Structure 1
Amino acid sequence: MDIEIINIDGSRARLRYGGHEFGCALGKAGITAAKREGDHATPAGRFPLRKLYYRPDKFNSPPECRLPVEEMDPLDGWCDAPDHTLYNQYVRLPFSASHEQLWRTDDVYDLLVVLGYNDDPVIPGAGSCIFMHVAREGYVPTEGCVALQKDDLLLLLAALEERTAIHIPEP
């Protein structure tokens, strides 16, 4: 069973999985079928959920989840430099090329699910760092990710099946 993005209104939508339905934030530029690095859009398509990273300093134990689960640490990053050989891949910090730091001072990446977007194969410039993560207050738009309130994301993670994918419809 797939996670479905429905009732899309710009950068806001609903996410439905089984009997659950939650509000979510999308990219500032909405959804696109032609994702490019830095376009602030959420890519359209069907993407597997690869892995959950979580902040062990924010949770007493790993969140309930059937995905592979890994503790995050302050040296975790994700390369967003299209000209680098590790583009759209996990990296360890310090890292010389442009990258996203996963251990953040805000709560946005306390729970971070890597979406299988542009990773098999990686196409330089087609977009990187596409995650499902914790939404900011008021569902502030993302840079291209899908974001849910923390309690909703925890409920969703506990309900997921191993081979769940997310379906984001074309605009």
Structure 2
Amino acid sequence: MSPADLVASRWGARFQGRNFPCSVGRGGIVAPQKKREGDRATPAGQHHIVGMLFRPDRIAAATLPAWAQPIGPGDLWSDDARDPAYNHPVRAPHRFSHERLSRADPMYDLLLVTDWNFPMAAPGKGSAIFVHIWRRPRYPTAGCVAFSRTDLMWIAPRLTLGTRLMITP
């Protein structure tokens, strides 16, 4: 592992020589082969940051890398294993189960997309494993990795596309 890797565990995270508190899934950290849709677990292993999404009404684009993409009210993420667009961004209206990316709460104001089961999604292997803002300190997620808003806003501009997210048990 290198200082350029974002390394996370249930105990915290490390990036560019700094330590951060973080949250992981309520189901704990599981081996990748055991990860299933809806298990609320965070998959262990090496993942990569493949996208950054943000709410332009809540975060200024100038504070983020040029490759960050704005999200709006019609932006969704499919979490339905029966959907041909499973574990991909979709637009409303969408007839399959999905997560709304433009939430009323601040959790998805800034969202890092990982390559977990993406872009070639295997149905049922888990969707929407993001890095996002936590609900409250150390409160478990549905499988994502979460940080305080302040910490994620520090981390985000220092990432590049392809930065490794190392999730360790």
State the TM-score, normalizing by the size of structure 2.
Answer: 0.92
Aligned residues: 164
CA contact under 8 A between 2:50 and 2:162: conserved in structure 1?
no
Q: Tell whether 2:134 aligns with 1:131.
A: no
1:61 Cα offset (Å): 3.0
State the TM-score, normalizing by the size of structure 1.
Answer: 0.91
Deviation per CA, 1:86-136: give whole Å up to 9, x if none: 000000011000000000010000001111100142110000011000011
What SS does structure 1 have at the residue aligned with 2:49?
strand
Cα–Cα, structure 1 residues 62 and 71, in superposed 2: closer, same or farther, change >3 Å? farther
Distance 1:80 1:161 in 2: 26
Distance 1:45 1:151 in 2: 25
Structure with the bigger percentage of strand: 1
What root-mean-square deviation, in Å, do the aligned CA atoms of Structure 1 and Structure 2 show?
Answer: 1.4
Q: Tell whether 2:8 aligns with 1:5.
A: yes
Q: Tell whether 2:59 aligns with 1:59.
A: yes
Q: Tell whether 2:22 aligns with 1:24.
A: yes
Letter in 2 for 1:51: G
Distance 1:87 1:162 in 2: 22
Distance 2:62 2:91 in 1: 21
Equivalent residue, structure 2, for 1:105: 104
What SS does structure 2 have at the residue aligned with 1:100?
strand
Question: Which deviates the most, 130-139 or 147-156?
Answer: 130-139
1:160 Cα offset (Å): 1.9
Structure 2: runs of 5+ lacking an equivalent: none
Question: Which deviates the most, 118-127 or 158-167?
Answer: 158-167
Distance 2:62 2:145 in 1: 21
1:52 Cα offset (Å): 0.7
CA contact under 8 A between 2:54 and 2:111: conserved in structure 1?
yes
Cα–Cα, structure 1 residues 87 and 42, in superposed 2: closer, same or farther, change >3 Å? same
1:45 Cα offset (Å): 1.2
Q: Where do residues 1-171 of structure 1 align in structure 2 (5 Å cutoff)?
A: 1-6=4-9, 8=10, 13-33=11-31, 34-65=34-65, 68-169=67-168, 171=169
Q: Percent identity?
A: 38
